[in-house]
Amino acid sequence: MLDLNELCGMKGKTAIVTGAASGIGAGIARFFASAGVSVVIADINDELARKVEREIKEAGGKAEFVSCDVTKEADCRTLADGVAKRYSRIDILVNCAGVARRHTVETLSESDWDLALDVTLKSVFLMSKHVVPHMKRSGGGKIVNIGSGWALKGGDRAVSYCAAKGGVWNMTRAMAIDHGPDNINVNCVCPGDIDTPMLKSECEQLGGVYDEKYKEECARRPMARLGEPRDVAMCVFFLCSGMAPWVTGSSLVVDGGGIA
């Protein structure tokens, strides 16, 4: 009989998840830990990150919070080298850190443009730059970059976010080409609206109220509900598992049919 746990091959792996103090990143960290993965929570929000770390440990999982500003190369290098030293290898990198600033090109400030691109796109470059060498030395690995439905199509009043996530998606394809020979799979998961603090922030930036009426509007899609972090986490898990050995350079849309 097929043993799915053996097929997945995730127990005992080590994963770095950026932006894991809340939202989708926290959901991924919790799901991975529940499957026996040792999770390194990388974020700058100490309070929330330590809360996620504590919850995972109380549930019997393995987690470690490491403060890291993913827009700073020194932080990314220190994180990657430290994890590789403590755990002997880095099996998985999930680049989830991101910032959304809801503006058109007319109203967006240069500082907010820089923030969105640095946190959302530059961080993928910096973390991958310093994790890939460790993966190569250990014979391979899995990288999943968190994109967005707006990596594949445009969105209103979200010019910096669309630019950053579009860059994440095309960077994913380029990395898959470069590092396929190193046995490193690189894929992109593109969520739709997920019930997270980021979605609440976007709503409020646009002058709305994050209430049940707003959530109902976000749920107007074929699956007729708002997404949850776990919906994304399960798809990221699949791409990082032994069930997707020949999947690389791919984009998996997880949005309940929103852009179908």
- Beta-sheet pairing, 92-95 with 141-146: parallel
CA atoms within 13 A on the CB side of 14: 18
Catalytic annotation, pick one of 87, 161, 210, 214: 161
210 given a catalytic annotation: no
Q: Is the dihedral of CA 215, 221, 224, 226 positive or negative?
A: negative
Measured CA distances, 60 to 12, 22, 36, 37, 124 (Å): 14, 19, 9, 11, 30
Q: Which residues pair with 14 in a beta bridge?
A: 38
Burial of 130-168, coded b for 16+ CB within 10 Å and e otherwise, reads bbbebbeeeeebbbbbbbbbbbbeeeeebbbbbbbbbbb
Nearest to 143 by CA among 164, 116, 125: 125
Structure tokens at 217: 């509007």
Active site residues: 161
